[in-house]
A and B are shown apart, each in its own frame.
Chain A
Amino acid sequence: MNCDELAALLPDLVDGALSEAVRAEAEAALPRCPQCQQELEIARQVHALLFQLQTEHASLHIPAGFESRLLAKVRAQNSGKEFLDLSSKAFAEWLLEFIELVGGLLDPRVNGSLSPHSGTVS
């Protein structure tokens, strides 16, 4: 086994995923490839370090009722959006009515009493 072949097996060596025969062959080739040997040691350390931190959570389950809480939150967000949409629509309608009303009040043809000249005309 040459260095390139050995390098390709390093991830499986870290995880112990090789058959006994291949593992033995790879380990026998390690002393001939110092780069592979060094990388294997580093990768094993990192894997062990990160994995060790997780061993306390080996049988992790989602908390009771979490799925319902999550769906409730999604629904709340969804209905919040609808409410916002409705509010914006209602507000736009109200604004249009208000503009018409104000426009009507300022327009002398609609309400003659607001005209500065209304008294003189009559």
Chain B
Amino acid sequence: MVSLTDEELVKRCKAELPGDTRSYEILVQRYISRVYSVVYRVFGNKEEAEDITQEVFIKVYNGLKKFEQQASFSTWIYRIATNCALDSLDKMQRRPKIQIRLFNSKDQHETEQNDLDLHASMEAVPEEMVVRSELRECINNVLKKLDREQARLLLLRDFDDRSYEEIAKVLESGLSAVKMRIHRARLAFQRLFGQMCGSIHLSYSASTSGSSPKVKTKKE
């Protein structure tokens, strides 16, 4: 049964749900990491990522009976996942800010509370983590303002590091068209980022062999 295609599993789900959830569970198994990954990269914390991933799979469960299969299952679920993530960004702004633990790099114990999402590397000092969290918040604000399709493309390519080929496949679009749409999305992102956050200033550290830039933002 594990070797069945997505389409065959969807057909079985339509016949079996709600009584028998075995086919649905295989679809969950197949897609849970991919959905969690893309959602996690927007929010950067486990709790939000779990909640939203659950929301995605509940929507899939509730929608399977009506899912017409005009698009592939993967196209459909990526669309639901990116929509849930982007919708949640809107809701988050209306909620009180979430308190996330901030770890001190020396003793790795919880030392203070910060009102932003901070899961930085062990090497990062608290100031860097605050900058990083502000940067994430700013990036998420830009994502909310972007055209939904452009935000979706950036989530898949630059947040989740999906290849152009994979994105073309999941969005059922031509490869050249996807490449150019992602290019235009990056240009649109930069324009909005400039208006909302300042210019993007990248400095390359000599110790990082030039491939991993240090990112700083500079308010104009």
Contact = CB atoms under 8 A, between A and B. Distances in A.
Interface residues of A, number: 39
B36 interface: yes
Contacts of B53: 66, 70
B135 A46 contact: no
Interface string B154-181: 1000111100100000000000100110
A63 interface: yes
Interface size class of B (residues with CB under 8 A): 35 or more
B161 A51 contact: yes
Given A39-B183, A57-B40, A60-B40, A48 B202 contact: yes
Contact of A70 (B28, B44, B160, B190): B28
A55 B44 CA distance: 11
Contacts of A46: 154, 158, 186-187, 189-190, 193, 200
Main secondary structure of the interface of B (DSSP, over half): helix
A45 B61 CA distance: 39
Contacts of A62: 32-33, 36
B14 interface: no
B41 interface: yes
Contacts of A61: 33
A78 B135 CA distance: 40
A71 B41 CA distance: 22
Given A11-B180, A71-B28, A74-B61, A47 B186 contact: yes
A119 B54 CA distance: 69
Interface in A1-51: 8, 10-12, 14-15, 17, 39, 42-43, 45-51
Contacts of A8: 176, 180
B29 interface: yes
B186 A42 contact: yes
Given A50-B159, A52-B213, A56-B121, A70 B202 contact: no
A54 B58 contact: no
Contacts of A52: 212-215
A70 B35 CA distance: 13
Interface in B1-57: 18, 21, 24-25, 28-29, 32-33, 36-37, 40-41, 44, 46, 50, 53-54, 57
Across the A-B interface, give the 9 residue pairs with the lowest CB-CB distance, nearest first. Answer: A50-B158, A11-B179, A46-B186, A43-B186, A45-B200, A42-B190, A52-B215, A11-B183, A62-B36
Interface of A: 8, 10-12, 14-15, 17, 39, 42-43, 45-57, 60-63, 66-67, 69-71, 73-75, 77-78, 81-82
